[in-house]
Amino acid sequence: MIDLVAFIPRAVGQGIPLLYGSTGEIITQKSGNLNLGIPGVMYVGAISGVIGSFFYEQSIKNGGTENGFLMIAIPLLCSLLGSFLMGLLYSFLTVTLRANQNVTGLAMTTFGVGFGNFFGGSLIKISGLDVPSIALSKTSTYFSKSFVGTDAGWFGKIFLSYGFLAYAAIIIAIASALIIKRTRVGLHLRAVGESPTTADAAGINVTRYKYVATCAGCMIAGLGGLYYVMDYACGVWSNDAFGDRGWLAIALVIFTIWRPDMSIFASILFGGLYILYLYIPTGMDHMEYKEIYKMIPYIVTLVVLVITSMRNKRENQPPASLGLSYFREER
Amino acid sequence: MNNNEKVKEPLFHIVKRDAIPVGKAWGIRVIAIVAALLVCALVTTVLTKDNPLSIYATIFKGAFGSARKTWVTFQDLSILLIISLALTPAFKMKFWNIGGEGQVLIGGLASAACMILLADKMSNAGIIVCMIVSSIAAGAIWGLVPAFFKAKWNTNETLATLMMNYIATQLVAFYTVRWEVPKGSGKIGIINQSTSLGWLPQIGNKYLLSIIVAVIVTAGMYIYLNYSKHGYEIAVVGESENTARYVGMKVKKVIIRTMLLSGGLCGLAGLLLVGGINHTITTTIAGGQGFTAVMVSWLAKFNPITMIFTSFLIVFLGRGAGEISTRFGLNHSFSDILTGIILFFIIGCEFFIYYKINFRKSKKEESK
């Protein structure tokens, strides 16, 4: 039987990046922008944070003093800035220049993943510093500092053993759900996503809503990358390690029918599916079945996609103008 | 954007163009590509501290530096072109097939399976026939699954095809472990190295086969899309599903048929990669080309002939950037950054082809 006290914290650890990614993408999609660049944005968010803290840790080694606040603030701000710029680029291309959203998103993913792997692999070479690898263990200890130690009971292990970014993810998800559902800003945002023409006629600034929602969405998604590298991977950057989590985050948007609060549970569930293969016994001579078990999250996503489309309920539909760019003079 | 000038006429406003001469449209695109190349050189200069002119020389050398490099460039070009062509009918139908990656992989896996499992049961010719049939069929099935759900329940095809990619990747990973040679190495290695069973025949040299297939597929796709009834149906369904339904086209049938074709051609690319070029299979054999092909196809406005140039641009830059990273000891993802920059510029420039910016006339002119 699976040891749940050990399994759940790991599932949550895997789920948090997905939660950040899907919350960001839900906000973006609510404004009618289908951002397929989220996987790239998450890489950029991660590597920007890594670059920031890499130089800060180097300056400490060269005689600077370690400042706990800066240890967290520098990577956090770098990461937010990096993913904000990606969001700005996407908004500029799709909203102002009205480019095709699918193609722009895929180009952003190509660029973002390349950007992450390039600087992850060449940062040491470019900066000319003499270090063997990017291991930000000091920064990582600040990011993964939790409420309880290793001697905690089951309650502590399941609920209190995460770094602050994990709790932030849940708070952001709940806050976004409330904003989208209960506030005037959220109402306007949904109006822009459903019918920009109507929203425009009602005096809502469509361009501004699309820009703000996309950039905010990207910044939230970028934090997912930062959480992964600083907390989950203990500050060690390795190329392609983040993998396809960005795409799973996009799939989660449909899975949760555009509700960030649902995404909290769905992300953790998917996080669990993602590592389930480690817990299914295969025996030593049939290691290949592990590869089959790794398929589980994707097959589940596919099945869920099909089931939600079969049920085809009115309230479960995507924003009506999702993927379309808006031009006022075209009616 | 111009909130503070509500009373005044805004500085500029945007209008849709009626139509733009083809020459002018291409002029705009060329300007965008040149601008993108300048930015690429700038980025490279900053990162490598080399002078910009020698960077262009290095890029050119990476693609055409020797006879072998030139052949490889054209071979890469043909594979990317075939995948782009495969995705094109689906995109024309507004079916976002981003599962090219998985369809190529599964086609490759099918041919690898034939090469390994039929090695001492059949003649070489028999194996090759089996490979061709099975890889195209495997790719077609991988295209059929999302198409079926799309046609039946309007399931989101972007995500469905994407998930099919990962299922294909894991299947390849599974069989890699099962067939690994030697045991425990985690890879298959060159299949049938001593007997060359199932290796596609070489025409002239080992690069020419894929190039010839690419030429045939390009011509075929051009005729299929522009001069056949199927091609016309695809265009109508893409423009408006309702119109298609009113004139009596079976939309579901068109969707499924087109995706069978799309997936099948991707499977063919997988066959060439495994049977003709690499003679082995890994999970990364498609190398992200399924995604790149989406952009290649879109940049060419779904025109098979234009696609030759767009895929050339991407392959040329990719190989050039590869040369730069080797020379300066940088990471090979550098080419993705350059590709990204070029794509952003071309995507952005489309705006100036479809829209016109009218600036506010100056006061003096108005008073006249």
pLDDT of residue B5: 46
Q: Within a domain: residue A40?
A: yes
pLDDT of residue B145: 94
Q: Within a domain: residue A324?
A: no
* pLDDT at residue B268 greater than cutoff 50: yes
- Residue A242: φ, ψ to 5°: -70, -25
pLDDT of residue B62: 83
Q: What angle do CA A202, A208, A211 make, to 5 degrees?
A: 135
The residue of chain B with its CA nearest to that of A96 is B351
Q: Within a domain: residue A330?
A: no
The number of C-beta contacts closer than 8 angstroms across A and B is 166
Residue B116 Rama label (left phi>0; alpha psi -120 to 50; beta): alpha
- For residue A288, give how far its alpha carbon lies from the nearest alpha carbon of chain B (Å): 5
pLDDT of residue B1: 47
Indicate the number of domains in chain A: 1
Give B6's pLDDT tier (boundaries 50, 70, 90): very low
CB–CB contact A106 B291 (8 Å): yes
For testing contact with chain B, the best of A124, A298, A331 (most B CBs within 10 A): A298
CB–CB contact B164 A292 (8 Å): no
3-state class of A324 per DSSP? Answer: coil
Give ipTM to 2 decimals.
Answer: 0.86
HSE of B334 in the Cβ direction (CA atoms, 13 Å)? 27
Q: Are A24 and A220 in contact (CB under 8 A)?
A: yes
The most confident of the ranges B201-205, B247-251, B258-262 is: B258-262
**DSSP collapsed to 3 states, chain B:** CCHHHCCCCCCEEEEECCCCCHHHHHHHHHHHHHHHHHHHHHHHHHHHCCCHHHHHHHHHHHHHCCHHHHHHHHHHHHHHHHHHHHHHHHHHCCCCCCCHHHHHHHHHHHHHHHHHHCCCCCCHHHHHHHHHHHHHHHHHHHHHHHHHHHHHHCCCHHHHHHHHHHHHHHHHHHHHHHCCCCCCCCCCCCCCCCCCCCCCCCECECCHHHHHHHHHHHHHHHHHHHHCHHHHHHHHHHHCHHHHHHCCCCHHHHHHHHHHHHHHHHHHHHHHHHHHHHCCCCCCCCCCHHHHHHHHHHHCCCCHHHHHHHHHHHHHHHHHHHHHHHHHCCCCCHHHHHHHHHHHHHHHHHHHHHEEEEECCCHHHHHC
What are the tokens at A302? 């596919």
Distance between CA atoms of residues B128 and B131, nearest Å = 5
pLDDT of residue A120: 84
Give B43's pLDDT tier (boundaries 50, 70, 90): confident
Report which of residues B203 and B221 the model is more confident about.
Answer: B221
Give B323's pLDDT tier (boundaries 50, 70, 90): confident
Residue B136's nearest CA partner among B108, B166, B160 is B108
Give whole-number Cα distances, A43 to A113, A211, B30, B165, in Å.
Answer: 6, 21, 31, 20
The residue of chain B with its CA nearest to that of A301 is B163
Q: Are B150 and B88 in contact (CB under 8 A)?
A: no
pLDDT of residue B363: 55
pLDDT of residue A274: 84
Q: Within a domain: residue A331?
A: no
pLDDT of residue B7: 57
Domain CATH for A156:
1.10.3470
pLDDT in tens, B67-99: 888 999 999 999 999 999 999 999 999 888 888
Number of helices (H), then strands (E), belonging to chain A: the values are: 14, 0
Q: Which domain holds residue A186?
A: 4-316
Report which of residues B7 and A328 the model is more confident about.
Answer: A328
Q: What is the mean predicted confidence (pLDDT) over B202-225?
A: 88
pLDDT of residue A297: 84
pLDDT of residue A39: 92
pLDDT of residue A169: 93
Name A20's Cβ contacts closer than 8 Å, sequence gap at least 6: A42, A169, A172, A220, A221, A222, A223, A224, A225, A227, A249
CB–CB contact B166 A107 (8 Å): no
3-state class of A236 per DSSP? Answer: strand
pLDDT of residue A170: 93
Residue A112's nearest CA partner among A229, A218, A23 is A218
Q: Are A57 and A138 in contact (CB under 8 A)?
A: yes
Residue B150's nearest CA partner among B289, B249, B258, B288 is B258
What is the average pLDDT value for chain B, to the nearest integer? 86
Q: Within a domain: residue A143?
A: yes
- For residue B328, give how far its alpha carbon lies from the nearest alpha carbon of chain A (Å): 9
The amino acid that residue A308 corresponds to is T
Q: Is B255 exposed, middle or buried (0-12, 13-18, 19+ CB in 10 A)?
A: buried
CB–CB contact A111 B354 (8 Å): no
Q: Are A18 and A171 in contact (CB under 8 A)?
A: no
* pLDDT at residue B357 greater than cutoff 90: no
Q: Within a domain: residue A15?
A: yes
Tens-of-pLDDT digits for all 331 residues of chain A? 567 777 888 889 889 999 999 999 999 999 989 888 999 999 999 999 999 888 888 888 777 777 778 888 888 999 999 999 999 999 999 998 888 888 899 899 989 998 998 888 777 777 777 676 777 777 787 777 777 666 667 777 777 778 888 999 999 999 999 999 999 999 999 999 988 999 999 999 999 999 999 999 999 999 999 999 888 888 888 877 787 888 889 888 888 888 899 899 999 998 988 888 888 776 666 777 888 888 888 898 888 888 888 877 777 777 888 878 887 777 5
Q: What is the mean predicted confidence (pLDDT) over B114-142?
A: 89
What are the tokens at B147? 């198409």
CB–CB contact A295 B171 (8 Å): yes
Set of chain B residues whose Cβ sits within 8 Å of the Cβ of A97: 347-348, 350-351
Q: Within a domain: residue A218?
A: yes
Give B226's pLDDT tier (boundaries 50, 70, 90): very high
Domain ranges of chain B: 71-307
